[in-house]
Homo-oligomer: A and B are copies of this chain.
């Protein structure tokens, strides 16, 4: 859909509130009548984008079903995420969503997204624990949450103008997640 793509661009660039519907229509090369024919509200476009992301993660994890190497799945997911972050609009969009998180509908959509991520990750972390590939001193659910912490921090830093790019830092991301998950305590101080 042209509208969604244009809205994503504008949200990422200007944030939700500063991205005017007029600007979205301009970059989509449509009139405002068309816009509001498909989406009753500016917010609804944001919600639609969010849901797109949620189903995408659902699909990715569904495609992994049956694999026998839980550690490999976890690693693959991290690079998959990093690859998606290569689209420069993603980082900006995440920030834009943050600005309207208090909205009830947005919070619900975000919770659904988080649940998809969590539910996708959890079985693999548990399997990796059972296989002795991942530490067991922390429950799997908490480990999942912390993988997401690192991932969130990663996207957040991509927005700054410094030389922090998804491509250049991908290996460090993978290394960090592996350190987070690996058995054995950090070197004693």
Please determine whether B17 and A15 come into contact, CB atoms closer than 8 angstroms. yes
- A149 touches which of B15, B18, B153 (Cβ 8 Å): B153
Task: Answer yes or no: A184 CB below 8 A from chain B CBs.
Answer: yes
A150 vs B151: C-alpha distance when bound (angstroms): 9
B161 touches A111 (CB 8 A): yes
A 98-122 binary contact with B (CB < 8 Å = 1; else 0): 1111100001001100100000000
Give the number of residues in A that approach B within 8 Å (Cβ atoms): 53
User: CA of A24 to CA of B162 in the docked complex: distance in angstroms?
Assistant: 33
What's the number of copies of this chain in the assembled complex?
2
Residue in A18, A162, A187 with the greatest tally of chain B CB atoms within 10 Å: A187
Q: Is A62 an interface residue (CB 8 A)?
A: no
Tell me which residues from 12 to 34 in chain A have a Cβ below 8 Å from any Cβ of chain B: 13-18
- B-side contacts of A179, CB under 8 Å: 179-180, 182, 186
Chain A stretch 139-189: residues in CB contact (< 8 A) with chain B: 142, 145-146, 148-154, 156-157, 159-162, 164, 172, 175-176, 178-187, 189
- Would you give the shortest CB distance from A162 to chain B, in whole angstroms? 8
Tell me the smallest distance from the CB of A12 to a CB of chain B, in Å: 10
Contacts of A182 in B (CB 8 A): 179, 186-187
| 5 additional contacts (CB under 8 A) given A98-B156, A182-B187 | A14-B102, A111-B160, A146-B172, A152-B152, A175-B185
Question: Which 10 A-B pairs give the minimum distances between C-beta atoms?
Answer: A153-B153, A17-B17, A99-B99, A95-B98, A178-B186, A149-B153, A182-B186, A182-B187, A152-B153, A15-B99
